[in-house]
Amino acid sequence: MPIRLRTLTLIILIAVAACAATTTFTSTWRAPDVPAISPVGKTVATVFVSRDESKRRAGEDAMARSINAFGGHGLPAYTVLPNEAAENADTARAKLKEAGANGVVTMRVVGKDQQVTYTPGYTAPSYYGGFGPYWGYGWGTVSSPGYLQTDTLVSVETLVYSLDRDKLLWASTSRTTNPENLDSLIKEIADATANEMVKQGLLAPPPGK
């Protein structure tokens, strides 16, 4: 492969990898006196804290799908708790218990930042192919220009409560790089959170795993 094409391919691969969403945790906490829990057979309400009704519904639906994947019954809170009633804790608790919820998972965006990274260019010697002195001179060096890359970093707070015990079981703050949309953001955070909770012994693995 010619150096110019090889260099271009490398730049594209680096850019694609950098733009892929990745989630890392900046902090986690789990209740120390709680054994591993399983959502199987339990109803878990999902709450995406947003005054934007469409974003709230999309977020809670995405969270509910993740709960279902673990064998539980995800209950989007908007189906029983409209925005005008969501801000009152007593009303929210009563409505969710009345709907049969055993637990609640909440997510809230707590920060959104942009990070600009500059990757410097470089000059690399080319290979000589025997086409004469001029060809070798003309293609003696191949330059790759530097480029700027802007990443979007979204920080999300996730809390897991037991309504049966009225107790906080899990708290975390995560940072996701370049999420494509709200649905993919929620799914990635939900998957990462579940894996971390399994790793820390708070959540039983999903059925069959």
pLDDT profile of the chain (209 residues), mean per 10:
40 40 89 88 93 91 90 94 83 92 94 75 52 54 67 92 92 92 90 90 75
Over residues 58-71, the pLDDT tens digits come to: 999 999 998 998 88
Task: Please provide the average confidence, as pLDDT, over all residues in the chain.
Answer: 80
Domains of the chain (ranges; CATH) run 22-122+148-199 (3.40.50)
Q: In this predicted structure, what is the pLDDT of residue 87?
A: 79
SS3 107: strand
Residues in the chain: 209
Specify the residue for token string 């890392």.
24
Per the listing, tokens 């079981």 go with 169
Asked if 153 and 179 touch (Cβ cutoff 8 Å), the reply is: no
Q: Tokens 């037991």 identify what position?
A: 162
Per-residue model confidence as pLDDT tens digits over 14-53: 443 344 458 999 999 999 988 888 889 999 999 999 889 9
CA–CA gap between residue 175 and residue 156 (Å, rounded):
6
